[in-house]
């Protein structure tokens, strides 16, 4: 009888140990799951933050003018002007000497690539707000496009060009097509080197 009591006591003890172990394991498992969920949430948040950081470093610029593929290009913050021009593929007639190829790009800016003989409209100075301003654009209203100007307009705005000579310029481009560069105007009868020197800084061939 005493032996049966011992076996019963041992069985009860084993059951208590198993029950206690089960509770401990269940708590451990729940804690581990909670930790894993916390780690996953933290990892997702870090991933989202890094993704936002990468996205914030993307800038867009518009390339136009003497390039093969004008359009909007996406680059990294800190990229240089020459990288954008390479992406757009400058044409052989592009006049790249007017471009500040090593300067950092600015998000949202427009970059006109001039052709030879054109007066460049370039962002040449940076203002206090951190963006480039066009210092040449103030002069553009005084320029005369000899491919589009009327005879009277040239007579009014260009020294030494009267209505008759202005008409000869119009007749020349009508017969030979648009001027390819400003020096071609010297082919017009009555415009020699001296007269060209007087007007060369006031004329352009921008289309």
Residue 125 has pLDDT above 50, yes or no: no
Cα–Cα dist 93/104, whole Å: 24
pTM (two decimals): 0.39
Sheet with 71-76: strands ordered across? 71-76, 58-65, 110-113
Q: pLDDT, tens digit, for every residue of 44-61?
A: 565 555 555 555 589 999
DSSP for 112-169, written as a single string: EEPBTTSPP----EE-TTS-EE-SSHHHHTT-EETTT--HHHHHHHSTT--HHHHHHH
Residue 88 has pLDDT above 90, yes or no: yes
Q: Which domain holds residue 113?
A: 57-140
Cα–Cα dist 173/170, whole Å: 5
Last residue of some domain: 93, 117, 140?
Answer: 140
Cα–Cα dist 157/151, whole Å: 10
Angle made by CA atoms 58, 59, 62, in degrees to the nearest 5: 145
Task: For the chain, give the mean pLDDT.
Answer: 77
Which are the contacts of 103, defined by CB distance < 8 A and separation ≥ 6? 80, 81
Q: Are residues 62 and 49 in the same domain?
A: no
Per the structure, how many domains does the chain have? 3
Whether residue 32 contacts residue 39, with contact meaning beta carbons closer than 8 Å, is answered with no
Q: Are residues 75 and 115 in the same domain?
A: yes
Q: Are residues 20 and 37 in the same domain?
A: yes
Could you tell me which residue, 11 or 173, shows the higher pLDDT?
173
Last residue of some domain: 92, 109, 140?
Answer: 140
């Amino acid at each position: 009888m005493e032996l049966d009591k011992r076996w019963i006591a041992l069985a009860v003890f084993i059951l208590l140990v198993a029950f206690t172990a089960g509770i401990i394991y269940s708590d451990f498992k729940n804690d581990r799951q909670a930790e894993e969920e916390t780690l996953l949430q933290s990892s997702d948040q870090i991933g989202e933050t890094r993704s936002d950081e990468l996205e914030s470093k993307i800038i867009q610029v518009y390339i136009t003018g003497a390039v093969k593929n004008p359009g909007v290009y996406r680059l990294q913050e800190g990229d240089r002007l020459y990288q954008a021009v390479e992406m757009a593929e400058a044409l052989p007639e592009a006049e790249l000497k007017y471009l500040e190829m090593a300067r950092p790009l600015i998000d949202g800016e427009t970059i006109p690539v001039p052709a030879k003989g054109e007066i460049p409209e370039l962002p040449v100075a940076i203002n206090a707000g951190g963006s480039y301003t066009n210092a040449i654009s103030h002069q553009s209203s005084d320029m005369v496009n000899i491919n589009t100007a009327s005879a009277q307009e040239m007579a009014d705005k260009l020294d030494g060009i009267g209505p008759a000579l202005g008409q000869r310029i119009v007749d020349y481009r009508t017969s030979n097509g648009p001027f390819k560069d400003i020096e071609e105007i010297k082919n017009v009868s009555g415009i020699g080197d001296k007269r060209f020197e007087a007007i060369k800084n006031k004329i352009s061939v921008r289309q």
